Amino acid sequence: MLTNLGNQLHIAVIGASGGLGQAVCELLEQQSEVDKVHRFARSPEHANAPCHHLDLCDESSIADAAQSLPGRSLHAVVVCTGLLHSAAIQPEKRLAQINGDKLATLFAVNASGPLLVAKHFIPLLDKSHPSVFMALSARVSSISDNRLGGWYGYRMSKAALNMGLKNLALEMRLAMPKLCVMGYHPGTVDTPLSAPFSGKAYKRFEPQQAAGYLVEQLNRANPEQSGGLFDWQGEVIEP
């Protein structure tokens, strides 16, 4: 399934304790082209396999995680993380519900965190080999497609991520011409992140099915797509 990336692949998955992240790791480990999946998570104890610790809100932990792979070339980095809600955070429906501290947390996890992962993990990618840096974004990050409003922090932070990935793609064009930097919308996956907001109006995917679509997109990725945002069908989501 990953023939376009080559073989004996080493792939890092960030967010490997989540529903989608675990399913992605398990599917990647089944591929004959993959030699090793390196799992990272904020809560390794919740994963179904050994993970290294990595907290998107703590750059030192990201640097330590990258340094745990000394001298090892990676071929792909997949950031399977996102924060929509928590015990303290709920998507805002109105301007009056916006809170500065909660916005800062959403930006730290959804925008700054993946870019800090890129800062420390992209130097580990094999420059002589096709490679991919993929981070989960969302269709609701599209400004041109926003017809409902609401979800201020989530929409804004994922839109900021898209801009960061575009900047990164432009910076890497000459330094790493075989690298594809991309945002990816996996659809609505049946996980705790989407459970409170995935009613009958949304098509939902089981994590294993969503993982299959993600790995297909990972295989299709090429440098001409770098900087773009794509959905689970491989279609471009316009900014």
Pair of tokens at residue 197: 């907001």
Residue with tokens 């993990």: 121
Burial environment of residue 69 by CB neighbours within 10 A (0 to 12, 13 to 18, 19 or more): middle
Are 124 and 176 a contacting pair, CB within 8 Å?
no
Break the chain into its structural domains and give their ranges: 3-231
Say how far apart CA 96 and CA 182 lie, in whole Å. Answer: 33
pLDDT score at 46: 76
pLDDT score at 194: 59
Say how far apart CA 37 and CA 57 lie, in whole Å. Answer: 23
**Number of C-beta neighbours around residue 177 at 10 A:** 10
pLDDT score at 83: 94
Superfamily of domain 3-231: NAD(P)-binding Rossmann-like Domain (3.40.50.720)
Q: What is the DSSP string of 178-220?
A: TEEEEEEE--EESSTTTGGG--TTS-EE-HHHHHHHHHHHHHH
Are 82 and 138 a contacting pair, CB within 8 Å?
yes
Are 59 and 116 a contacting pair, CB within 8 Å?
yes
Q: What is the mean pLDDT of residues 79-108?
A: 95
Half-sphere exposure of 32 (CA within 13 A, CB side): 2
Cite the DSSP H helix spans in 30-176: 59-67, 100-107, 113-121, 152-175
Q: How confident is the model at residue 76 (pLDDT cuts 50, 70, 90)?
A: very high
Q: What is the DSSP string of 26-69?
A: HHHHT-TTEEEEEEEES-GGGSSS--EE--TT-HHHHHHHHHTS
Cα-trace Rg, the chain: 17
* 181-204 pLDDT tens trace: 999 999 998 866 556 655 555 678
Whether the pLDDT of residue 44 is over 90: the answer is no
* 116-141 pLDDT tens trace: 999 999 999 999 999 999 999 999 99
State the pTM of this model: 0.94
pLDDT score at 197: 59
pLDDT score at 95: 96
Whether the pLDDT of residue 39 is over 90: the answer is yes
Mean pLDDT of the chain: 93
Burial environment of residue 74 by CB neighbours within 10 A (0 to 12, 13 to 18, 19 or more): buried
Pair of tokens at residue 25: 């790791």
28 or 239, greater pLDDT = 28
